[in-house]
Amino acid sequence: MTMPDKILTEYRYDGQVALVTLNAPKGNVLGAGMMTELQAAFDNFASRPQLKLVQFTGSGKHFSFGASVAEHVRE
């Protein structure tokens, strides 16, 4: 199994399965940083044709509160 050095998104491989953990425990809000890391993870997954499943989980109490509202508010 491989674990890249990520802060907001962690992933590892277990055979034909990629296990992705959203790692921002206070709601796992999908902000720009996490979305960038998720895109990099999916780019990596695309180079692994043996993958059959990508499983998501969230650290902390909640899976995810969704997109970051604060990043979409006009200043």
Q: Please report whether residue 72 resides in a domain.
A: no
For tokens 């960038």, what's the residue?
A: 36
Band the pLDDT of 2: cuts 50, 70, 90.
low
pTM, rounded to two decimals:
0.80
Q: What is the pLDDT of residue 41?
A: 93
Q: Please report whether residue 30 resides in a domain.
A: yes
* Beta carbons of 28 and 67 less than 8 angstroms apart: no
Range of the domain at 52: 9-13+22-67
Listed in order, strand segments (DSSP E) in 1-75 are: 9-14, 17-22, 53-58
The pair of three-digit structure tokens given for residue 2, joined into one six-digit string: 């491989």
Q: What is the pLDDT of residue 7?
A: 72
Residue with the bigger pLDDT between 2 and 45: it is: 45
Residue 5 has pLDDT above 50, yes or no: no
In angstroms, the CA 60 to CA 41 distance is: 21
Our count of domains for the chain comes to 1
pLDDT per residue over 22-60, tens digit each? 999 999 999 999 999 999 999 999 999 999 999 999 999
